[in-house]
Amino acid sequence: MSEAAALQPDNRFQQMLSRLSSRSFIEGLVLPAVGIVIFLLVWQFSANRIDTSLGQFPGPVQVWEQIQNLGTEHARERDKEAAFYQRQDERNAKKLAKDPDATIKIRQYTGKPTFIDQIVTSLVTVAAGFIIANMIAIPLGIVCGLSASMYKAMNPIIQIFKPVSPLAWLPLVTMVVSATYVAEDPMLEKSFLNSAITVALCCLWPTLINTTVGVASIDKDLVNVSRVMALSPMVHVRKIVVPAAIPMIFTGLRLSLATGWMVLIAAEMLAQNPGLGKFVWDEFQNGSSNSLGRIMVAVLAIGLIGFLLDRLMLTLQKKVSWDKNAVLR
């Protein structure tokens, strides 16, 4: 190191302080942290003053204890599953050693689903319903946005079915699936189909409406450019319509995903289909001293997963949007 470099003052500490005091750091980290701390304090203060038939309302400390308990139960259940398959493999190996032509039986582990298992089930179900809904909503929304006549024909149907509650759809879906899905060895469980179709029916409308509005409000200059270039209808949709309507389409997708996630929890609670909703209902019926804490864990998990799903859609929108400088929130 040269003498001049050695005599040069080290400004790294001052630079770090300037970054910590910058507006972006305060808005991005400090303010959310302050909000969370205030929320936890208010929550704990309120919980200490609420007594229910199952005991005191759980505060952050009790909820953290139940998070740890649920994690321990999940690990214990996975150990039991591994031991079950190990015993089955050893039994089948001994059977084949005695008789290579023997028929062995492979049974699936049927232990109680854990909290993590219920989360995975709900995520798979909402993803299926969301995909089904938007395979219909986006193409139909594009058609309605391009054709005023089609929109006028579809609008009464949209306005009638848009406000229908999932609690009204679920019995109808259950009966239809039970009557039509009668395979002896079904690939999908009926409970999964009931929940996924109910989610699809309820989260269809936000994407459909926003896609229609986005397509109908495309800049006329873009439409004129398409006409001048004599683009075919499919090329016009792919090159002009979809890119221009991306912001509104993703607004609908984010609303649909949030709606679908809420609908799914309600459907699982009402129909006792596997998932987070069933976990909440089972704990409520259980009525143990830990039930309220476990329900609160599920409530926080539902909210956190909903937030992460929305962030996922926002990230995807940034990837596919043509306007990389647009402010997305």
Q: Is the CB of residue 198 less than 8 Å from the CB of residue 166?
A: yes
> Would you state the pLDDT for residue 1?
46
Does residue 224 register a pLDDT over 90? Answer: no
Looking at residues 60-64, what average pLDDT do you find?
Answer: 90
Instruction: Using the predicted structure, report yes or no on whether residue 4 has a pLDDT greater than 60.
Output: no
Q: Which single residue is written with the structure tokens 């005023």?
A: 148
Per-residue pLDDT band at 68 (split at 50, 70, 90): very high
Assess whether pLDDT exceeds 90 at residue 257: yes
Residue 8: predicted pLDDT: 52
Least confident of 48-52, 282-286, 323-327: 323-327
User: What is the distance between the alpha carbons of residues 250 and 51, in angstroms, rounded to a whole number?
Assistant: 43
